[in-house]
Amino acid sequence: MELKKIFNYLTPLLLGILIFSSNFLNTGIFNFGDNNFAVWFILSIFCFVCGWLIGKTLNWHFGGKVVFAVVISVIFISVLMISFFREYFSANELLTENLILYSLRSIMLGAMAFFGMSVVEVFSLQRELNANKEKIIFYEQKLTDANKEAELELREAKLKADRILLDAQTVAKNMILKKERIEKELKEYIQAERELIKKYENI
């Protein structure tokens, strides 16, 4: 685990070395005769790849802080070095302009590293977006299925309720008919008893 952490910080170190090495290139970066542009392009590609690896290993937030710290550190070291070794960097007369130029070089290469990190982050967010879309489609399908099941269960419940109500109405009608029949039979029985009592009284 510790070895992996050390390996993760080797990429920012490599980025710092690449940015620092740009100080030793000719200032005419678009001078095609000396192939300076090709060298700068390759150096930019390497910084982009370093940014890509930092984005993969250290994530966007922490990796961005690391890259920013690397760029600032390299600029600070470069300014000190150019100030002390003016003759080597041809900075005797225009020291301030040369310091700005070398700082802008470092910032440009640092920006390439940030660009590499941004591409990683965009791809990562795109994958998350696609995964979330698939989850949404899955949950919408589940919701649709659940709604269909709920509708079926509701229909079954209504059918059962109608059947129970119909059975209850049938039982109630049968009880009413029985009651009416018993009342009718009871009235007939009472009527017959009365007639029988009258006959006995007349005798």
Residue 155 maps to a domain = no
Domains in the chain: how many in total? 1
Q: What is the pLDDT of residue 30?
A: 42
DSSP letters for 45-94: HHHHHHHHHHHHHHTHHHHHHHHHHHHHHHHHHHHHHHHH-TTTTT-SS-
Longest dimension (CA), the chain: 162
- Nearest to 110, CA basis, from 161, 81, 69, 76: 69
pTM: 0.60
> How confident is the prediction for the chain on average, in pLDDT?
81
In tens, the pLDDT along 96-105 reads 777 787 788 8
Is residue 72, in this structure, part of any structural domain at all? yes
Asked, for residue 42, whether it belongs to a domain, the answer is yes
Cβ–Cβ < 8 Å for 113, 46: no
Average pLDDT over residues 85-103: 68
Instruction: Answer yes or no: is 89 within a domain.
Output: yes
Structural domain contains residue 40: yes
Q: What is the mean pLDDT of residues 174-201?
A: 82
Task: Give residue 174's identity as a one-letter amino acid code.
Answer: N
Report if residue 142 sits inside a domain.
no
Burial class from Cβ neighbours inside 10 Å (0-12, 13-18, 19+) for residue 185 reads: exposed
Residue 92 has pLDDT above 60, yes or no: no
Q: Are 51 and 67 in contact (CB under 8 A)?
A: yes
For tokens 């390497």, name the residue: 46
Segment 2-21 mean pLDDT: 77
Domain limits for position 15: 2-127
Residue 189 falls within a domain, yes or no? no
pLDDT tens readout for residues 116-169: 989 989 998 899 999 999 999 999 898 888 888 888 989 998 999 889 999 888
d(CA 18, CA 49): 11
pLDDT at 29: 46
Residue 198 resides in a domain: no
